[in-house]
Amino acid sequence: MLLQRILTALVLAPLAILIVLLPPTGVFGAIVAVTFLAAWWEWAQLSGLRGRARVALLVAAAVVFVLLWLARDSAWIDWLLAAGVAWWLVACLWLRHFAFAAAPTRDNTALKVLAGAFVIFPAWVALVRIHGHSPHGQWWTLLALMTVWASDIGAYAAGRAFGKRKLAPHISPGKTWAGAYGALVAGVLLALVGAWLLDVRDVRLLPLALLAAATVAISIVGDLLESLLKRHAQVKDSGSIFPGHGGLMDRLDSVFAALPIFAAGLWLLQL
């Protein structure tokens, strides 16, 4: 399984880097929207939607992406990004009360679908906002993603070497506090190196390190939230599109959480 995961990552990582660096923001946003729609399809299934309702939700999400692109320069888009940041603070409360909305009722399905909207749409807005930023928008986008990727590697390495105390045993038994610390160290170091290469070489490095730490911490919350939904749905993976990695939500859960935090932080730091 580990070999399969590594081989899949070796294929996906270069493809993701090319998609970030080569196309203009409009094309990039469209590619990401299609990818996020596939993740939305998986989220709808985890939420309990089936059949025509799931298809209708997918069509509605596609319309929302078009509207978000048309309104990308309006002031209320900033409020959507702020809502995305606030949502992940609310998600922390949900993780503390992990049995909340576990029953497969219609109301709980609707609640999870609503939560999915706060997961996916602000993340897309954040990604497009970072990518369209001048100068170096593509490179800042890549840095945001690589910060999450590095934290995943750091979490795996530290968890394997030192992991004993469980982080959230009722939600994701494999995650440990050692893994969380490893994720923070790896993510912050990668962000600092990347920022240095992007000519951030002054006192802003300190708040950038804090931003990276917050980004990594929230990315862990995103991972745990998807694990919570899978527990509720009684499935191991959100899908099977990637050998050894599961579905798109399994690969993007932490990215969805990290992006609004990173985008808001860049705006506050005026980078």
Query: What does the domain layout of the chain look like in residue ranges?
Result: 2-269
d(CA 32, CA 208): 25
Q: Which residue, 133, 18, 113, 128, is CA-closest to 65?
A: 128
Distance CA 61, CA 46 (A): 16
Look at residue 256 and give its three-state secondary structure: helix
Write down the H helix ranges in 105-176: 106-131, 137-162
Residue 215 three-state SS: helix
* Dist CA 220 CA 147 (whole Å): 12
Residues 6 or more apart in contact with residue 192 via CB below 8 angstroms: 205, 208, 209, 212
Q: What is the pLDDT of residue 1?
A: 56
Which of 46, 172, 67, 62 is closest to 115 using CA atoms? Answer: 46
Give the model's pLDDT for residue 2: 58
Q: What is the mean pLDDT of each run of 10 residues along the chain (271 residues)?
A: 66 88 95 96 92 94 96 89 94 93 93 96 96 91 95 92 92 94 97 94 92 97 95 86 74 94 93 82
**Phi and psi angles of residue 270, each rounded to the nearest 5 degrees, phi first:** 55, 45
Task: Count Cβ atoms within 10 A of the Cβ of residue 218 and give its class: 0-12 exposed, 13-18 middle, 19 or more buried.
Answer: buried
d(CA 120, CA 135): 26
Q: What is the pLDDT of residue 117?
A: 96
Say what the pTM is. Answer: 0.93
238 vs 252: CA distance, rounded Å: 11
DSSP conformational letter for 168: E
Cα-Cα end-to-end distance for the chain: 40
SS3 (DSSP) at 133: coil
Distance CA 10, CA 67 (A): 34
What does the pLDDT read at residue 4? 66
pLDDT of residue 134: 76
Helices (H), the chain: 2-21, 25-47, 51-70, 75-96, 106-131, 137-162, 177-197, 205-233, 248-269
